[in-house]
Chains A and B, each alone.
Chain A
Amino acid sequence: MLDKWTWQMANRDSKGSRRRLLPFLSAMVIGVAALVAILSFGHSLERTIDQDAGSLLGGDLRISSSDPFTPTEELLIDSLGGMQARRVSFATSAKFSGQSETRTVQVRAIEQQFPLYGDIAVSPHGAEGEMHSGGSVLVPRSTLSAARVEPGDTVTIRGRHFLIAGILLGARVENAIHMLFEPPVYMSLADLDSLQGSSATYDVFFRFNRDMDLVALEADIQKSYEVRTRIVEDEKEDWQEFLALLEGFLGVVGFFALILGSLGVGSVLQVHCKERHDTVAVMRCLGASSGRATSVYLVQAIAMGVIVGVAAGVVGTLGQVILPLGIVDLLPVDINYRVSLKGLLSGLGIGVGATLLFALLPLSGLREVSPLEALRTAYGHRRIRKSRLGVYALIALGTGLCAWAQSGRVVIAIIYTVAIGICFGLLALTALGFIKLARAITPQIRNYAIRQGMANMYRPNNQTLLMVLALGLGTVMIMTQVMTQGAVVGAYETMNFEAVEFPDLVLPTVSSEELEDVRNLVREHGLDIVSQEIMISLAVDSIYGRSIADSAMVDTAGRSNADRSSHFATFADARLDSLTVLEGTFEPEWHDTVGAAPVAMNSLLAREELHVAVGDTIVFRVNDETALVRIGSIFANAALQSSFVPLAARGIILPRGVLETLPHVRSIMLKADDTQSLSAFYGTVTDRYPDLPVLNVPLILGVVQKVFSRITYMIRFMSLFSIIAGIMVLAGAVMVSRQARVEQTVLLKTLGASKKQVYTIMCTEYLCLGFLATATGLGLAMAAAWAITGFQLNVVMVVPKVPLAVAAGVLMVLTLGVGLLNSRGIYARPPLEVLRAEV
């Protein structure tokens, strides 16, 4: 079928159309490039992580414990051999010389050979050696700047003064985000004995020969010892999970750009093929079968797909460097950017695949062209064949597969496909409804030019449906992103001390012995206690059957995957104002000493971690005691609330009455009128209780916002692809209707229409199209954003009125502007040239 003649014809036939196809191809290139950029970046990062996983962990294997290793564990460590290095870490407050404020830091007491892979970058040269000689530390540059100190100054940690020997420039073994919360301060392991306090994490790192089976070794250790282990494979897995999440999220954004691009290519091919009906009819009269005639345009579509794929590969490969700019300093490695063959091939595959998929519909239309149309243009309407329904099904399937490939979830893929289908349907219905309305009201319009402009929307060969689909879908996608992003950003901004009153400090685990003294310190420093919830750390001992009646039958096999972890609980007298009960009845008090006490459980914990429902019973373990409880109610999880909202809103709420005797600590939240008293309290409490965690809320919120702003950059960068693709589609949609405008203008001019009248006609039409598409698109975008924010992100959607109005105005002006720009010079065209031309 694809013989020499077909290729020759495809080439000859495309000569006059190439310039017109360009904007649509550009839109498609942008869409595919967005996906190639994500894939290439992911591939580059994955390869870099693969090469550097050892330096990220600091060795091949890490064994960790919250307590000093027992003699048995020490024997294990000795028996493992290989190169070894030890590290002890703990969070504590550090007071820098000349400063009244203290800062939370993560002390890393290390042996000289740590890390076993990679190195620690320091300045000046030799500072690391000085640190190992004792009495001095290495501190990150950001911490030194914030504390306004420099090497040569001192810092007090757990009661001992250290000299700052140098600047810690970087260490791959450190997690960049953790570093923002608790900057690491490196010291020699030999200095550890001179410090107060005991709470710490103890690590031993190992470096083995390459033939060591680390997975088997890790399994053996975990089977026999109560230590935590981590191997390079775990490090790789964690990064692969992160990458999958990142690719999935950004991929969905890229998917929108691809759909826009595909829509552009589909719409231009629709117009292109429609214009070729006559040619196909003639070809068929001259002896070409319908398949052979159609194959000419199939070849053109394939060529377009290849051009798109290759161009997108180049643009996407370059885009991978710009994409992660916002987060590059949060990554532990310097990404070794390379041309990703996988990315290029994917670009080519997606380019050709998507182009062909969206070309199927216009191509199927060409197959139905009868040779009789060469004799008689108005040969009657062709009925929609069953094959077209198959094409629609194929497009839906292709869209679904692409959404699945990007999101990695079948449900999401189905939702997106159905949502896009609904958008198409509603936009088409709106366009057809408007055509009907315009037909009804236009004859009553007195002004001639406006009447003509309106009439253009329903006349034969009008572009109303195509323009509304292209503009409307672009509007839906862009505005859904804007509104969803706005809601998420808004939720984080709300956290920024505006709607929610955050504490300044949180002491999450104040024991009963420490409580009175801490309260006294709070009073002495003039701070206010916002809340002091009782916190009980509950470990699941066993989950019984699904009803109280079965509770006597202990079924330890029914333990969920969360059975070893602990969950925080508090009592019902805590701040519960943000609690929304989803199921069951919330009971704040319970005095029955025989039955199981009814507790309220967070929906995320109940449904996704423990897999329990209202009525189920659980035995919790608290130190050496156990407590039998029943799920009395389930309350809504507030997904985007920070860790500083009452913990009750995130875990388990116990009724007052019978469980007060369980061992517990207090979570105390404090607010201060001024930073001096806050800082003074911080210093005193951390000096007196070096093991007591103290959270500096503003500092942590600042870091959260910093991290979030980096992620927002990536989302906005990806959105840019969609916006550019949308504008390309818009420009292209307007451009395909240029010939109709030219012919109409020339005829009107010949009949005596003035320039003003001609442009009024065009303005009326473009404004109507812009308004129609924008209004429908915004309506659909609001519905989509409401669904996404409400059901998927669990944040409150606030309609951003001003941005919405601006966007609507911009879209309408853009439609009008692009339309008029595309129509420039039309009035000046010599009528004879146009009237004689067939193209």
Chain B
Amino acid sequence: MPDSVILRVDRLTKTYKSVPRCLTVLNEVSFEAREGEAIAIVGPSGSGKTTLLGLCAGLDTPTSGTVELGGTNLVRLTENARAALHNELVGFVFQTFKLIPTLTALENVMVPAELRRNRKARSRALALLEDVGLGDRGHHYPAQLTGGEQQRVGLARTFINRPGILFADEPTGNLDADTSETIEH
């Protein structure tokens, strides 16, 4: 196996137990993703896209099958180890931005770096906000930002720890076409 594989999904199955019968959302899905590669998963609503994303990122546990992220089998990790892996390797972009409403834009961006006890968290967060064009909005709360601005803050937060892999769940789904284009760039 070449070293460039960062995500390996093997025979991944997810079944939800619900009355009166079980609902299998994913059935033995397998694929690989290499560094620098971009993979888009498309499908109609309810087809299991978000479930697959959650399982790949280690946010949920599969019914069967394995997920290897950066060479580490997520299924075997303890909760703390999985949290550390998220912090080091994974970046998330959410459809609904998911900024912490009680923190300012700057504080939101700083969170992942602060969790790593990075002393340069503040300066790096300020630089990232500059990069996304929000250098002067750092002290604003999410409620004071537009949807596009919130998503840009989310992006800055995603990149603060220089993630190895980025998971984006319909990142422009809540934005207009022009803003979407800005985000994509």
Using a CB–CB cutoff of 8 Å, the interface residues on chain A facing chain B are 3-5, 8-9, 12-17, 278-279, 281-292, 370-372, 374-376, 380, 836-839
Contact A286 B102 (CB under 8 A): no
- Taking CB atoms, residues of chain B closer than 8 Å to A281 are 98
Which B-chain residue is minimally distant from A284 (CB atoms)? B83
A740 CB → nearest B CB, Å: 16
Distance A34 CA – B61 CA, assembled complex (angstroms): 50
Whole-angstrom distance from the CB of B113 to the nearest CB of chain A?
10
Closest to B100 in A: A279
Residues in B neighbouring A9, C-beta threshold 8 A = 111
Best-surrounded residue of B54, B57, B88, B94 (most CB of chain A within 10 A): B54
Contact A287 B116 (CB under 8 A): yes
Known A-B contacts A12-B107, A285-B59, A837-B143; A374 and B79 likewise in contact (beta carbons under 8 Å)? no
Question: In the complex, A289→B78 CA distance in Å?
Answer: 10
Interchain Cβ contacts under 8 Å between A and B, 20 examples: A4-B117, A5-B115, A15-B102, A279-B102, A282-B99, A283-B100, A285-B90, A285-B92, A286-B87, A287-B88, A288-B83, A288-B87, A290-B79, A291-B80, A372-B54, A374-B94, A375-B53, A375-B59, A838-B142, A839-B102
6 nearest interchain CB pairs? A287-B87, A289-B83, A837-B143, A287-B86, A371-B59, A372-B59
Evaluate whether A374 and B98 lie within 8 angstroms (CB atoms) in the complex, with A283-B111, A289-B79, A839-B141 already known: yes
- Chain B 103-140 residues near chain A, CB threshold 8 A: 103, 107, 111-112, 114-117
Does B29 make an interface contact (CB < 8 A)?
no
Residues of B within 8 Å of A837, CB to CB, are 143
- Bound-complex Cα distance A12 to B59 (A): 26
B90 proximity list for chain A (CB < 8 A):
285, 287
The answer to whether the Cβ of B84 comes within 8 Å of any Cβ in the partner chain is yes
Q: How far is the CA of A286 from the CA of B116 in the complex (A)?
A: 10
Chain B residues with Cβ below 8 Å from A836 are: 143
Interface assignment of B152: CB less than 8 Å from any CB of chain A: no
Contact assessment for A372 and B60 in the assembled complex, using a CB-CB cutoff below 8 Å: yes
CB-CB under 8 A from A372, the residues of chain B are 54, 59-60
Q: Is the CB of B101 within 8 A of A839?
A: yes
Q: Please name all residues of chain B whose beta carbon is closer than 8 Å to the beta carbon of A282 when the two chains form the complex.
A: 98-100
Identity of the chain A residue whose Cβ is nearest the Cβ of B107 in the assembled complex = A12
A380 to B87 Cα, complex, angstroms: 26
Closest residue of chain B to A281, judged by CB?
A: B98
- Residues of A within 8 Å of B101, CB to CB, are 16, 279, 838-839
Most buried by A among B59, B99, B107, B112: B59
Does the CB pair A13–B102 fall under 8 Å? yes
Measured in the bound complex, the distance between the Cα atoms of B82 and A371 in whole Å is: 11
CB contact between B115 and one of A13, A286, A374 (< 8 Å): that residue: A286
Q: Does A376 lie within 8 Å of B83, measured CB to CB?
A: no
A13 to B103, CA, bound (A): 6
Q: Which residue of B lies closest to A289 (CB)?
A: B83
Our pick among B50, B88, B157 for the contact of A375 (Cβ within 8 Å) is B50
Counting residue pairs across A and B whose Cβ atoms lie within 8 Å, the total is 96
Q: Select from chain A the residue with minimum beta-carbon distance to B86.
A: A287
Residues of A within 8 A of B102 (CB): 12-17, 279, 839
The answer on a CB contact under 8 Å between B59 and A287 is: no
What chain B residues lie within 8 Å of A279 (beta carbons)? 100-102
User: Is B10 engaged at the interface, CB distance under 8 Å to the other chain?
Assistant: no
Interface string of B55-85 (1 = CB under 8 A from A): 0010110000000000000000001100111
| Bound form: Cα–Cα A20–B51 in Å | 37
- Cα A787 to Cα B178 in complex, Å, equals 72
Chain B residues packing against A (C-beta within 8 Å): 16, 50, 53-54, 57, 59-60, 79-80, 83-88, 90, 92, 94, 98-103, 107, 111-112, 114-117, 141-143, 157, 161, 169
B114 to chain A, nearest CB (A): 5
When the two chains form their complex, are residues B59 and A278 in contact, meaning their CB atoms are under 8 A apart? Answer: no
Q: Are B59 and A286 touching (Cβ within 8 A)?
A: no
* Assembled-state Cα–Cα distance A44/B138 (Å): 55
- In the complex, are the beta carbons of B143 and A288 less than 8 A apart? no
In the bound complex, residues from chain A placing their C-beta under 8 Å from that of B79 are 289-290
Chain A nearest Cβ from B41, distance in angstroms? 13
C-alpha gap A375/B87 in the complex (Å): 17
Task: Say whether A375 contacts B169, CB under 8 Å.
Answer: yes
Q: Which listed residue (B107, B111, B143) contacts A838, Cβ 8 A?
A: B143
- By beta carbon, the residue of chain A nearest B95 is A375
A289 and B94 CA atoms in complex are apart in Å by 19
Contact A375 B114, beta carbon cutoff 8 Å = no
Q: Check A289–B54 contact: CB distance below 8 A.
A: no
User: A375 to B54, Cβ gap below 8 A?
Assistant: yes
Cβ contacts under 8 Å, B92 to chain A = 285-286, 374
Closest-CB distance, A746 to chain B (whole angstroms): 14
Cβ-defined contact, B59 with A370, below 8 A:
yes
In the bound complex, residues from chain B placing their C-beta under 8 Å from that of A12 are 102-103, 107
Which A residue's beta carbon lies closest to that of B111? A286
- Give the complex CA separation of A837 and B142 in angstroms: 8
Q: Which chain B residue has the least Cβ–Cβ distance from A16?
A: B102
Q: Could you say which residues of chain B place their CB within 8 Å of the CB of A15?
A: 102
Which residues of B lie under 8 Å from residue A370 when comparing CB positions?
59-60
B83 pairs with A292, CB closer than 8 A: yes
Bound Cα distance A291, B84 (Å): 13
Taken together as a complex, chains A and B put the C-alpha atoms of A16 and B143 apart, in Å, by: 12
Measured between alpha carbons, how far is A283 from B117 in the docked complex, in Å? 15
B58's nearest neighbour on chain A, judged by CB, is A371
User: Does B100 contact A376, Cβ atoms closer than 8 Å?
Assistant: no
Q: Give Cα distance in the complex from A16 to B141, angstroms.
A: 11
The docked-state distance in angstroms from the alpha carbon of A769 to that of B100 is 33
Distance A375 CA – B141 CA, assembled complex (angstroms): 21
Report the nearest B residue to A287, measured CB to CB: B87
Please judge, given known A-B contacts A16-B102, A17-B102, A839-B101, whether A376 and B50 are in contact too, CB under 8 Å: yes
Asked if B143 and A287 sit within 8 Å, CB to CB, the answer is no
CB closest residue in chain A, given B116: A287
A5 to B101, alpha carbons, bound, how many Å?
17
Complex Cα gap A498–B100 (Å) = 69
A837 to B, closest residue via Cβ: B143
B17 to chain A, nearest CB (A): 10
Q: How long is the Cα–Cα vector from A14 to B83 in the complex, in angstroms?
A: 24
The residue from B16, B98, B103 contacting A278, defined by CB atoms under 8 A apart:
B98
What are the residues of chain B within 8 A of A3 when measuring CB–CB? 117
Contacts of B141 in A (CB 8 A): 839
Inter-chain CA distance A281–B83, complex, in Å, is 12
Q: Which residues from chain A contact B80 at a C-beta distance below 8 Å?
A: 289, 291
CA separation between A14 and B142, bound complex, in Å? Answer: 15
Q: Which interface residue of B103, B115, B116 has the most chain A CB atoms within 10 A?
A: B115
Rounded to whole Å, the gap between the CB of A631 and the closest CB of chain B is 66
B residues less than 8 Å from A375 (CB atoms)? 50, 53-54, 59, 94, 169
Of listed A3, A281, A836, residue having the most chain B CB within 10 A? A836
Q: Which residues of B have CB within 8 Å of A838?
A: 101, 142-143
* Interfacial chain A residues near B50, Cβ < 8 Å: 375-376
Kindly list 4 other residue pairs between chains A and B, CB separation below 8 angstroms, not including A278-B98, A286-B157.
Answer: A13-B100, A282-B100, A285-B57, A839-B141
A279 to B98, CA, bound (A): 8
Q: Flag if B84 contacts A287 (CB, 8 Å).
A: yes
Report Cα–Cα, A335/B87, bound state, in Å.
62
- Contact partners of A278 in chain B: CB under 8 A: 98
CA–CA, A278 and B99, complex, Å: 9
* Residue of chain A at shortest CB distance from B150: A838
Q: What A residues does B99 contact at CB under 8 A?
A: 282
Point out the residues of chain B lying under 8 angstroms from A289, CB to CB. Answer: 79-80, 83-84
